[in-house]
A and B are shown apart, each in its own frame.
Chain A
Amino acid sequence: MLYKKKAPLAAFLLPGFIMLFIFLYIPFVDNIRNSLYNMKGFVELQKFIGLSNYQEMLQDAKLHTALINSLKMMALTVVFQVGIALILAVLVNNIKKGQQLFRTVYFFPIVISATAIGLLFNLFYNYNGGALNQILEAAGKEPVNWLGASTALIMIVIPTIWSYVGFYFVIILTGLCDISEDIYEAAAIDGCNKSQAVFRITLPLLRGVICTCITLAVTGALKVFDLPWVIAPQGAPGGITHFMGTYMYQMAFVNLNVDYGAAIAVVIVALGVAVSLIINKILKPDENL
């Protein structure tokens, strides 16, 4: 009854949706339009160039590197971030004392900004007197240039993965707590041991949660910017550590090739939508379960 009169509706919806339209939806559409025009700086749209920015991407070796790095990042986050989180969650779920403590401790890096984490890891990676090289020197070995061409990418991937394991850990642990104790008891009576319980009961029942985690990890991996930019600015050395996000920034805001940057941003959106659709297609929990 109260909600039959529609008059107040606009007052509730308009402020929020006006914000969304001005600062999200319209810029989103405008960005697609920008990618089809030749722009000089940020201000004027000059002439329509169609898909030529997208054709240029096919020839752009640095973009290919960035794309491959982003795909590697996605694969590694799924395997290690979600993988480590799953192992830790199953282990913590099996113990009684200290659950809350581990939860708190594992989650902590997530609240720290990626910028601070990047600077912290720079102190580990520095060639002259960084923590890692101090360990090597103490062991009597030669110092290593950790951010050199052969290792830089992995040195960016490690803190990215490490800092977010706790996030998926908490999600999976919550999922584990939802599995009824009765199922395990019934299985134990039928002679099921602990490791069988994990593979035959826990993992199949967690499928939906793991699917959510993988989707979040993959779309999250596509959005990385802060951490790689702090550890290896401008894809250092020589652009080999660019990801889609950092390369987009570099093109639009450093090289001022704005329309090309806009086109890369469109590709990032398309990639994000495509991978989430694929993951849901492959992993979508069976409706009958």
Chain B
Amino acid sequence: MPGIVKNKRSISVGKIIVYIILATWATTTIYPFIWVIINAFKSSTEVVRNSFSLPEVFTLKNFTNAFSNQNILQSYKNSLIISGTVTVAVMVLATMIAFALTRYQFRFKTALLGLLSASLMIPVFSTIIPVYKMMSGLGWISTYQAVILPQIAGNLSFAAIVMMGFLRGLPLEMEEAAYMEGAGVAKVFTRIIVPLCRPSLATVAIFCFLWSYNDLFTQKILISREKMFPISNLLEHISSKYGTDYGLMAASVTLIVIPVLIVYIFLQKNIVKGLTAGAIKG
């Protein structure tokens, strides 16, 4: 009996150490964001003096500054238009490609499959110069489509591969049955395939939107007019202009983090699944 008791205690000591290690890492991932939110409500002089306590004087001045000096709402709107369009277009085009490549047999199928997986090895650095050249030739710099079109192409092949993985697992019986009832391919696609794809379409939508929304590189190069800035550009712009106003910086970061945090709390399971989905297949 004493032996058993001792054994039980040593397990719980081990458990406690495990929980301490896990909680420590959890603190590093959460505390910086709490820290920045707290500091957003302090004056800049107080942030400089003591950034680790709660605000001595609670102020909203940083936020009013952020909204009055910068067109934050306009930037949210720009980001939503750009990333929303990219997401919807990728969902539609990726499902169409995946449908064709999993349901049909044809001559160039292997070549197209190879082309799709090869495009995963094309980083944005290696296409951006010609794309910039094209967009400025068309006079499209600082327009929505200048960012939307290359971002669609950049996300499409990965999305198509994820969708193909899902469509391969769908049994053909329902489609065959619909065909027997007289449905054409278009009807089968819109009435059977698309509704069945809803879970993996959610996955695609999530990573597409986040990648597009968070991508500074493409947006920085293709959008130069301040009025057209999406959120990432605006944030970088604020930091280069007002980098020494720590209160304003904290408020700006907070304004970017809060909407994402709210969405994350509601959709976290889908988001985690969405962003790791393609990776696990390898």
Contacts and interface: CB of A to CB of B under 8 A. Distances in A.
A9 B97 CA distance: 9
Interface string A231-250: 00100000000001100110
A212 B131 contact: no
B52 A111 contact: no
A248 B125 contact: yes
Interface size class of B (residues with CB under 8 A): 35 or more
B47 A129 contact: yes
B119 A171 contact: no
Given A8-B185, A27-B134, A42-B132, A268 B123 contact: yes
Contacts of A171: 276, 279-280
Contacts of A129: 47-49, 51, 246
Given A23-B131, A115-B232, A88 B126 contact: no
Given A2-B185, A16-B96, A123 B246 contact: yes
A113 B232 contact: yes
Contacts of A146: none
Interface stretch (A59-67, A75-83, A89-97, A181-189): A89-97
Nearest to B221: A253
Of B112, B124, B128, B130, most A-chain CB atoms within 10 Å: B130
Contact of B96 (A12, A111, A165, A166): A12
B264 A230 contact: no
A95 B28 CA distance: 20
A171 B272 CA distance: 10
A276 interface: yes
A252 B26 CA distance: 40
Interface string B16-41: 00110110011011101101100100
A109 B257 CA distance: 10
Nearest to B159: A16
A23 B29 contact: no
Contacts of B134: 27
Contact of A2 (B49, B50, B188, B216): B188
Contacts of B236: 115, 229-230
B223 interface: no
A101 B104 CA distance: 43
B115 interface: yes
Given A31-B126, A113-B232, A212-B279, A20 B260 contact: no
B85 interface: no
Interface in A201-229: 208-209, 211-212, 216, 222-223, 225-226, 229
A197 interface: no
A113 B213 CA distance: 8
A107 interface: yes
Given A9-B104, A19-B156, A119-B252, A170 B276 contact: yes
Contacts of A28: 122, 126-127, 130
A167 B104 CA distance: 35
B152 interface: yes
B187 to A, nearest CB: 11
B179 interface: yes
B244 to A, nearest CB: 8
A269 B202 CA distance: 30
Nearest to B213: A113
A245 B108 CA distance: 34
Contact of B152 (A23, A104, A115, A134): A23
6 contacts: A23-B154, A25-B115, A134-B51, A167-B275, A265-B123, A269-B121
Q: What 7 pairs between A and B have smallest CB-CB spacing? A: A129-B48, A23-B153, A27-B130, A113-B214, A12-B100, A27-B127, A16-B93
Interface of A: 1-3, 5-6, 8-9, 12-13, 15-17, 19-20, 22-28, 30-31, 34, 42-43, 84, 88, 91-92, 94-95, 98, 101-116, 119-124, 126, 128-129, 131, 134, 162, 165-167, 170-171, 174-175, 208-209, 211-212, 216, 222-223, 225-226, 229-230, 233, 244-245, 248-249, 252-253, 258, 261-262, 264-266, 268-269, 272-273, 276
Given A1-B176, A94-B18, A273-B121, 12 more contacts: A2-B176, A3-B105, A22-B153, A23-B149, A24-B153, A24-B157, A25-B115, A26-B130, A105-B26, A111-B275, A120-B32, A120-B33
